[in-house]
């Protein structure tokens, strides 16, 4: 029997029972569509996280109080108030540090902000002028915190677009107006350009004030929440971690690196951690979605078994006319493969469409996963062979005389 005839006849047999064929393929459509959508969205999320982290500065190192395993210095448990402005100044002026271009001491805390009848709870970051350089901050309007503002402990604020929206309304121009942060009045001198984000990670939901003002007038503290460092280039990141780590160990009178009361993280460390987390989550969701592929395959096997039963007399007639077992197996196996492959193609298109729609709604980049598409094609054909083999084998084993007698 020619394969073209087999394929043509298979299409004809499936079109006779359109509803049953459609329901059999539905499980495959849902399974393939779900897997492709989840893999694509997972990769899009990873790309979005990578873009946002790189926007913060490609050569950025962050020193945090407390300890965490890092490439340069590996520390143990420590306090959360162990970094000071003197630490930042020592890194900046030390002749031992040859890999750092800029040092940005920072203090961050959430606080209630009000103006008129509006209020919001947002992140307040005390900064020096170099913060804008280290973190790649650009201004939408007005100016950033200046050296004069920091030295004079002036009560001025630079706010993000989300804060503008929350306090003044979208499209407002609040420069020159006042806001109250933790009950103290600050004059708005600038608005930062949008960086995007959601929730606590929203880079537009931030208010910047002079570091000295944040420490002495707002929160009454004398320590830092972090120190950001800009390395001279990406090739010296590891050396920079080591140099800074050992300088801080000496300043904190610690001789054992395992007792370090700080941690140093690079952007790559953060990116690797975030990518690992999103990758694991994507695999987990894809695994759950793949269960529907198994269910769809079982459904197709059931449909094919029903088809074998319905076509018992036809099978008996074919064998009586000389059809071989191989011909019968080929007939039913091709029907199963066509059914699953068609469902796989529809599921692939559905998955791509879902990914595109969700990407537009959530403003994450649209990523078309070639691996997911290849997976769809391979899995579709594989399910057709795997779950179509048993019904095809059962059909080929029917005895012609018994099959012809079947009612």
Got the DSSP string for 182-233? Answer: TTEEEEEEEEEPP----GGG-TTSEEEEEHHHIIIIIS---SBSEEEEEESS
112 has a pLDDT exceeding 90: yes
136 has a pLDDT exceeding 70: yes
Comparing CA positions, the residue from 400, 72, 15 lying closest to residue 246 is 72
Comparing CA positions, the residue from 276, 265, 274 lying closest to residue 73 is 265
Residue 254 — pLDDT band, cuts 50, 70, 90? confident
- Stretch 67-73: mean pLDDT, rounded? 49
**Mean pLDDT (the chain, rounded):** 80
Tokens of 173: 């121009």
Residue 105 — pLDDT band, cuts 50, 70, 90? very high
- Stretch 387-407: mean pLDDT, rounded? 65
pLDDT for residue 175: 94
For the beta carbon of residue 212, count every other beta carbon within 10 angstroms. Answer: 18
Please tell me which of 18-22, 107-111, 270-274, 373-377 the model is most confident about, judged by mean pLDDT.
Answer: 107-111
Residue 75 — pLDDT band, cuts 50, 70, 90? very low
pLDDT for residue 73: 47
- Stretch 234-260: mean pLDDT, rounded? 87
Taking the whole predicted model, whether its pTM rises above 0.75 is answered as no
Query: If residue 92 lies in a helix (H) or strand (E), which one and from where to where?
Result: helix 85-93
Distance CA 338, CA 102 (A): 62
pLDDT for residue 74: 43
Torsion of CA 60, 66, 71, 74, to 10 degrees: 160
pLDDT for residue 70: 42
pLDDT for residue 201: 65
CA angle 68, 213, 136 (to 5 degrees): 55
């Amino acid at each position: 029997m020619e394969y073209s005839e087999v394929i043509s006849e298979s299409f004809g047999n499936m079109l006779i029972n359109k509803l049953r064929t459609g329901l059999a393929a539905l499980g495959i459509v849902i399974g393939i569509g779900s897997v492709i959508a989840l893999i694509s969205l997972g990769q899009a999320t990873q790309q979005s996280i990578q873009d946002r982290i790189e926007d913060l500065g490609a050569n950025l190192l962050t020193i945090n109080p407390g300890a965490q395993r890092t490439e340069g210095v590996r520390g143990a448990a420590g306090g959360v108030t162990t970094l000071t402005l003197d630490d930042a100044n020592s890194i900046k002026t030390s002749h031992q540090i040859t890999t750092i271009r800029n040092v940005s001491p920072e203090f961050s805390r959430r606080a209630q902000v009000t103006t008129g009848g509006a209020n919001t709870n947002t992140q307040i970051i005390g900064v020096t002028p170099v913060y804008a350089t280290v973190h790649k901050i650009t201004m939408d309007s007005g100016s950033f915190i200046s050296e004069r503002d920091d030295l004079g402990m002036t009560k001025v604020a630079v706010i993000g677009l989300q804060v503008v929206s929350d306090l003044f309304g979208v499209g407002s121009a609040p420069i020159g107006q006042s806001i109250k942060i933790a009950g103290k009045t600050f004059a708005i001198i600038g608005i930062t350009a949008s960086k995007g984000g959601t929730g606590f990670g929203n880079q537009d939901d931030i208010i910047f004030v002079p570091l000295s003002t944040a420490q002495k007038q707002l929160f009454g503290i004398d320590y830092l929440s972090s120190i950001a460092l800009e390395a001279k280039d990406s090739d010296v990141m590891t050396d920079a971690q080591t140099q800074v780590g050992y300088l801080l160990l000496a300043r904190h009178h610690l001789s054992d690196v395992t007792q370090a009361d700080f941690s140093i993280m690079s952007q790559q460390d953060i990116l690797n951690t975030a990518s690992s987390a999103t990758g694991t989550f994507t695999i987990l969701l894809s695994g759950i979605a793949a269960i529907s592929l198994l269910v769809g395959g079982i459904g197709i096997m059931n449909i094919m078994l029903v088809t074998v039963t319905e076509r018992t007399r036809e099978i008996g007639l074919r064998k009586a006319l000389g059809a071989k077992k191989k011909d019968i197996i080929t007939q039913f196996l091709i029907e199963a493969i066509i059914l699953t492959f068609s469902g796989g193609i529809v599921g692939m298109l559905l998955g791509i469409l879902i990914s595109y729609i969700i990407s537009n709604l959530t403003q994450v980049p649209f990523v078309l996963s070639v691996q997911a598409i290849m997976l769809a094609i391979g899995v579709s054909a594989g399910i057709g062979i795997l779950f179509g083999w048993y019904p095809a084998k059962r059909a080929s084993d029917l005895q012609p005389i018994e099959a012809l007698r079947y009612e």
